[in-house]
A and B are shown apart, each in its own frame.
Chain A
Amino acid sequence: MAEPAFPGGYFGQALIVDVTDGTRRVLPIPPQVLREHLGGAGLGAWLLTELAPVGVDPLGADAPLCFVFSPLVGTPLTTSAKFAVVAKSPLTGMLTDALASSHFALAGKLTGHDAIVLVGRAEQPSVLFVQDADVHLEAAGELWGQPAAEAEAAVRARSGHRWQVAAIGTAGERGVAYATISHDGRHAGRGGLGAVMGSKQLKALAVRGSHKVAPADPAGVLAAAKDLRERSLGRATAKYRELGTMGNVLALNALSTLPTRNFQQAVFEGAQQLGAEELAQARGVTRSSCASCSIGCEHLYQGAGGKKVRMEHQSVSSLGSMCGVSDPDAVLAASARCDELGIDTISTGGTIAWAMECVERGLIDAPWLSFGDGGALLRAIEQIGDGTGLGPLLARGSRAAAAEVGQGSLEFAPQVKGLELPGYEPRTMQAMALGMAVNARGADHNRSGAYEADLSGDLDRLAGGQAHVTGAIESEDRAAVMDSMILCSFLRKVFDDPWVEWAALLSLVTGWDLTADELRATAQRIVLAKRAYNLREGWAPEDDWLPERFLTTTLTVGSGRTAALSPERLRAMVQGYWAARGLDATGRP
């Protein structure tokens, strides 16, 4: 029997479509590249490095936009129906990769490609259809100006429900630097991928496929899937199932780690009204889950007018506590509006919170924009969406906006590499502080979940040191593999020995004889591939750093202890990270 041309779970090729004229070509991906980068975020980093011209304008026609699948998608393994979107970020100028999930991942993979890469710029607003090897563009004039969900529904209504669609909202069309790409209510949220898609005049990508995913050991995969599904229903995922990530809000508030009023405080007095414990009782409507997922982390709440709104911890912290808004109606409405416009709630909330502080300090003349005012929050979001008032300034993200406003406002712009911080306070979570400082994507909680080290009890979260470096690296490595093979990160606690178990799962699917050690090396390779791309695009050592606010002001936790993160301590941790990654004293290979 002849050797298969490519490993199990793969098709060994990427489809590259020039949306300028709808032409296509196939890029073979060597098995060794697949083994070294797996798929998802890892393979996306490789594709971007290979296909993007050096120094490309993220919103230029030459900039590739990569939709990347993974070896596990299409198998019965729970939570594997996810895809990565990878591009050069208009927000950071560096690599960004964001994951979204559900049927688009399955349908995209079944086109027979491990990735679909878009380049060029359509002559008019368009929808790109990919069905197996067939590609065609259709004018989408009537869809331009619609929310992503409506555009998605319209494409499916017109073309058939077997098509799965990823679309942008109006923010992507307008080039908001943190616009998202959405599918079925989930969003590839961070770094402005929606703006990249919008710059190509592409409203939506629709996929449909007839290929089959062929694992190397189908029976073994089936047995593993059954086992994993059973484990996914246990205590390790109870939080997500019962409350969703909103279950974090009050817990993090109790630990002085909930960003409040643009990181001026870490305890929000209005948190109780926004916590899942209370909201679930008063407004919980239903749960939902992605395709092929047995966890079901999505919790929908009833907003004003009976509207069902998906809510996450990150949206509550960025639009709620960061902006000092405790009114659940306002926060739910703000989150829903971000979804409609197609903008990242974290960057939206962070940028508005920064602007609120600017107003407070007299640096921006917009007296209506004050902390705690839910109406002002909604007004600011509308302006970002329609480009009026402060919209053009805020649509660029807090770093670019601070560069324009000046007067020291960059010191409290809540961003790293241009990406706004998620809902974790770095002074009281110092492993996370390092994770956010050094991660290639910028301040991020998905590619670096170092908060786990901070909350493990194994180290002092207020006294960053070498143990925090170790914790941050382990977290980053695990995320690199989970985001590349792909399994949902909410599944991570069900694994007793993750490296060994992940190597076994991947071996069943691909036929490779993977070991935990090889997988660890793969993780490091993926992390460094992203850094290498950033370095090529102008990364400098000072980019692995936190805003001045975190290094010059302190917080007090409930016990009375002071949380301080000095520049010297952060420098030592960053240097420790670089050294442990095998980089030189300037963070370079």
Chain B
Amino acid sequence: MLDRELKKGSAELLILSLVEDQPRHGYDIGTLIEKRSGGTLRFNVASLYPLLYRLEKRGWIQGRWVEKAGQRRRRYYRLTAAGKKVLAAQRNSWREFVEAIRRITGIEPA
């Protein structure tokens, strides 16, 4: 299991990345994180939703109830303009961070 702090620090970036292309609901986001990380990263409901609400409150993402034909209504989150900027900035600093770690530790990106 990944260190808790590290996970927390990266969670924002993960969520923002996932809603960049299209709006997604919470379950979708949670599943995608788990799937794409090959099971290394997993957020349970009690952590994931507060995080979403927090990003929403900061104005980086925006949630909206959407009703689709024949389905229950679900809350979809999409990236806002402010969120886009933050995402770009965070990507940059993570890239630098990862690069720095790599140079020091010799860990090659997969």
Partners in one complex: no
B residues with a Cβ closer than 8 A to A are none
Which residues of A are in contact with B by a Cβ distance under 8 Å?
none
